[in-house]
């Protein structure tokens, strides 16, 4: 099935047992354009412009969550209200909204209803198309089961407040399978890209959920931008060997779309150029469309990244705000940058960038080892230990 408007031919796929048709490209609203550095200060005019451009050209899945573009995980961010504004003037009827129940904030059964009702108001809608239990890990899972999340979802569907129930996941494969089998989910959202083929749910989890009839949505297809911008020279040289020239982001996106189990790929776009590029790539998002030689090139690129990447951070921001003010993702980014792109001779250059671009209170040395960040890390990174390594390298 295709959608044609303004020269864009966008592909659609079935979304598992939801029986919905979804665009292969979905718009992730976690990294919307900002005015300044404050994550709550979204550039509303520009964000609405690029969101509507995507919808006008066939995108029909808009993904957000309760804390996105907020000052903390426990308070509603500005992403959901921004989505509501973007979907005025008839745009709501053209898309399917996906958002998420903040699992970490649930202390009693009534909290589930409280958050859902609040989100319906924030999104200015009577029904949320795809509602997820957010970021399931072992701790949240046990709490949610004790509090009866199953009855909550069943009732929300019966009351018409949500259409389809799913979950997003950031933990190990064994738990993923347990979650899939525990409830009659319609879909799931997993992290998947060519660096994370065997990470968290991974390829085995992807295939397991698909066999159970779940629709599969993918987040972090570009790994927080690591697979799109400033990739190592050696990786670019590998891609240059291909007869068909593609940008690094196209290689990464095409790899995910090459999997027939994947229905929709969520991309956190924050510029019009990114939207237009991804729309163009999505025109050819057919499963099994990459050749064996192209897949081999990506496999070689993966091997190079794995040798160089030190900290498995995707810059999702769930670890923020740090009580001490440490900018954890930025510290990890600068640490990875050195090992991906630097050399021993250039160490002082990278140290200069680190000290010049990260303020004193945001540096690794400001960590007091309270451990709050590790409770929320979606990648299960030992953040406190890794910050010590950053401190040792740069400070």
Which CATH number covers residue 73? 3.20.20.100
Q: Looking at residue 343, what is its pLDDT?
A: 67
323 domain residue, yes or no: no
Q: What is the mean pLDDT of residues 301-328?
A: 88
314 domain residue, yes or no: no
**Do 296 and 345 belong to one domain?**
no
DSSP strand pairing (2-5 vs 8-14)? antiparallel
**Residue 72 confidence (pLDDT) above 60:** yes
Q: Judging by beta carbons within 10 Å of its beta carbon (0-12, 13-18, 19+), is residue 394 exposed, middle or buried?
A: buried
Give me the domain span that covers residue 58: 2-306
For the ranges 190-199, 202-211, 335-344, 382-391, the lowest mean pLDDT is seen at 335-344
Domain end position, chosen among 242, 272, 306: 306
Total tally of structural domains belonging to the chain: 2
Q: Looking at residue 218, what is its pLDDT?
A: 98
**Do 171 and 298 belong to one domain?**
yes
228 domain residue, yes or no: yes
149 domain residue, yes or no: yes
Q: Looking at residue 307, what is its pLDDT?
A: 84
For the ranges 125-129, 316-320, 323-327, the lowest mean pLDDT is seen at 316-320
320 domain residue, yes or no: no
Q: Looking at residue 330, what is its pLDDT?
A: 86
pLDDT class for 337, splitting at 50, 70, 90? confident
**Do 287 and 380 belong to one domain?**
no
**pLDDT for 187-245, tens place per residue?**
999 999 998 998 889 999 999 999 999 999 999 999 888 898 878 888 999 999 999 99
261 domain residue, yes or no: yes
Q: What percent of the chain lies above the pLDDT cut of 90?
A: 75
**Do 254 and 113 belong to one domain?**
yes
**Do 255 and 359 belong to one domain?**
no
Q: What is the mean pLDDT of residues 63-71?
A: 94
**pLDDT for 120-160, tens place per residue?**
999 999 999 999 999 998 889 999 999 999 999 999 999 99
**Residue 10 confidence (pLDDT) above 90:** no
Q: What is the mean pLDDT of residues 246-272?
A: 97
* Chain mean pLDDT for the chain: 92
**Do 287 and 341 belong to one domain?**
no
**Do 124 and 58 belong to one domain?**
yes
pLDDT class for 9, splitting at 50, 70, 90? low
**Do 59 and 138 belong to one domain?**
yes
Q: How far, rounded to the nearest angstrom, does the alpha carbon of residue 249 sit from its chain's CA centroid?
A: 15
pLDDT class for 7, splitting at 50, 70, 90? low
Q: Looking at residue 144, what is its pLDDT?
A: 97
For the ranges 166-175, 306-315, 362-371, the lowest mean pLDDT is seen at 306-315
Q: Looking at residue 224, what is its pLDDT?
A: 80
Helix (H, G, I), strand (E, B) or coil at 184: coil
Give the pair of three-digit tokens for residue 342. Answer: 């630097």
pLDDT class for 315, splitting at 50, 70, 90? confident
Q: What angle do CA 252, 276, 135 make, to 5 degrees?
A: 50
Q: Looking at residue 354, what is its pLDDT?
A: 86
242 domain residue, yes or no: yes
Give the pair of three-digit tokens for residue 357. Answer: 């671009």
102 closest CA partner among 82, 125, 124, 122 = 122
**Do 175 and 228 belong to one domain?**
yes
Compute the distance between CA of residue 124 and CA of residue 317 in angstroms, rounded to an integer.
26
Cβ count near 382 (within 10 Å) = 11
Q: What is the mean pLDDT of residues 307-329?
A: 88
**Do 99 and 217 belong to one domain?**
yes
318 domain residue, yes or no: no
**Do 281 and 214 belong to one domain?**
yes
Q: What is the mean pLDDT of residues 65-94?
A: 93
pLDDT class for 8, splitting at 50, 70, 90? low
Give the pair of three-digit tokens for residue 18. Answer: 């939801």
Domain end position, chosen among 306, 338, 357: 306
**Do 176 and 294 belong to one domain?**
yes
For the ranges 90-94, 235-239, 344-348, 374-378, the lowest mean pLDDT is seen at 344-348
Sheet holding 8-14, edge to edge: 2-5, 8-14, 21-23
Q: Looking at residue 285, what is its pLDDT?
A: 86
Q: Looking at residue 2, what is its pLDDT?
A: 47
Domain end position, chosen among 258, 273, 306: 306
What is this structure's pTM? 0.85
Give the pair of three-digit tokens for residue 153. Answer: 């979802």
């Amino acid at each position: 099935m295709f959608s044609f408007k303004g020269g864009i031919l966008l592909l659609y796929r079935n979304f598992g047992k939801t029986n919905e048709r979804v665009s292969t490209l979905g718009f992730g609203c976690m990294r919307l354009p900002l005015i300044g550095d404050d994550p709550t200060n979204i550039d509303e005019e520009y964000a609405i412009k690029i969101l509507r451009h995507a919808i006008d050209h066939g995108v029909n899945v808009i993904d957000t969550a309760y804390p996105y573009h907020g000052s903390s995980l426990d308070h509603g961010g500005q992403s959901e209200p921004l989505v509501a504004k973007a979907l005025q003037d008839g745009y709501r009827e053209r898309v399917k909204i996906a958002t998420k129940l903040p699992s970490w904030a649930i202390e009693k059964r009534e909290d589930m209803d409280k958050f859902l009702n609040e989100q319906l108001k924030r999104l200015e809608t009577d029904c949320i198309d795809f509602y997820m239990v957010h970021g399931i890990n072992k701790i949240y899972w046990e709490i949610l089961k004790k509090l009866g999340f199953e009855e909550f979802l069943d009732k929300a569907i019966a009351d018409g407040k949500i259409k389809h129930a799913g979950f997003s996941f950031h933990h190990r494969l064994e738990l993923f399978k347990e979650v899939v089998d525990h409830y009659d989910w319609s879909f799931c959202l997993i992290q998947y890209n060519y660096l994370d083929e065997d990470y968290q749910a991974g390829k085995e989890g992807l295939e397991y959920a698909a066999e159970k009839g779940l629709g599969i949505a993918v987040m972090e297809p570009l790994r927080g931008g690591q697979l799109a911008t400033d990739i190592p020279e050696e990786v670019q040289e590998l891609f240059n060997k291909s007869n068909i020239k593609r940008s690094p982001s196209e290689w990464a996106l095409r790899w995910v779309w090459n999997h027939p189990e994947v229905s929709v790929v969520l991309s956190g776009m924050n510029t019009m150029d990114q939207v237009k590029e991804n729309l163009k790539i999505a025109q050819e998002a057919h499963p099994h469309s990459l050749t064996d030689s192209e897949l081999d090139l990506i496999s070689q690129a993966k091997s190079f990244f794995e040798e160089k990447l030190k900290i498995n951070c995707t810059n999702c921001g769930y670890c923020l705000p740090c009580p001490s003010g440490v900018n954890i993702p930025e510290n990890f980014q600068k640490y990875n940058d050195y090992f991906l792109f630097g050399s021993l001779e250039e160490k002082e250059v990278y140290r200069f960038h680190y000290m010049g671009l990260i303020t004193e209170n945001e540096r690794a040395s400001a960590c007091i080892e309270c451990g709050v960040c590790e409770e929320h890390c979606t990648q299960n990174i030992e953040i406190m230990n890794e910050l010590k390594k950053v401190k040792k390298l740069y400070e």
